[in-house]
């Protein structure tokens, strides 16, 4: 799995999505090419997970995720919104930065560890504020790398940029 967020494929900046459903649909559509699965399969997995409880972690950040049957490699996408939406976050704040992760159901090893690393990385309000202002995918990639290099352990960078071999 490549350890870097691929500029063209791992970012959706400034999405016009207006609610949780449209955010998850945009994520699912984006991950079709990366996963080889139909968008409705990815969307259903994300919706099923959200039904268990919101993946909004606070500070305007959410980490939608799902174990998906038939998926061969983990995949993810960072999505920012033009305007924040209600996502039932634990702090009741609106959310405008989403890092979605889909993982093979048949390979659950390291899934929770990977999510924990991502949560630690993205709880930085400074990183989230910087990503909100990113004007390009390249800029967002640089911001994440710089944040990881500045203080986060190398494991955090590899969690963001890798995830057990995210398809490149």
Can 156 be counted among the known catalytic residues? Answer: no
Pairing state of beta strands 56-58 and 61-62?
A: antiparallel
Residues near 114 by Cβ (< 8 Å), separated by ≥ 6?
74, 101, 103, 159, 163, 164
Identify whether the C-beta of residue 77 lies closer than 8 Å to the C-beta of residue 11: yes
How far apart are alpha carbons 48 and 69 in whole angstroms?
13
How far apart are alpha carbons 74 and 1 in whole angstroms?
8
Task: List, in sequence order, the alpha helices (H) in 79-124.
Answer: 111-122
From the list 30, 65, 114, 156, the catalytic residue is: 65
Which residues does the annotation mark as catalytic? 65
């Amino acid at each position: 799995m490549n350890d870097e967020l691929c500029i063209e494929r791992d970012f959706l900046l400034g999405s016009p999505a207006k609610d949780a459903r449209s955010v998850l649909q945009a994520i699912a559509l984006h991950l079709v090419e990366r996963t080889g699965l139909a968008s409705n399969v990815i969307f259903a997995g994300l919706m099923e997970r959200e039904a268990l409880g919101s993946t909004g972690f606070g500070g305007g950040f959410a980490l939608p995720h799902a174990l998906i049957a038939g998926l061969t490699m983990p995949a993810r996408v960072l999505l920012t919104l033009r305007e924040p939406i209600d996502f039932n976050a634990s702090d009741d704040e609106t959310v405008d930065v989403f890092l979605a992760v889909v993982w093979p159901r048949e390979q659950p090893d390291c899934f929770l560890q990977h999510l924990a690393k991502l949560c630690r990385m993205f709880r930085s309000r400074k990183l989230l504020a910087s990503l909100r202002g990113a004007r390009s995918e390249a800029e967002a990639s640089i911001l994440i790398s710089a944040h990881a290099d500045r203080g986060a352990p190398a494991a955090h960078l590899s969690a963001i940029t890798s995830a057990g071999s995210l398809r490149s």
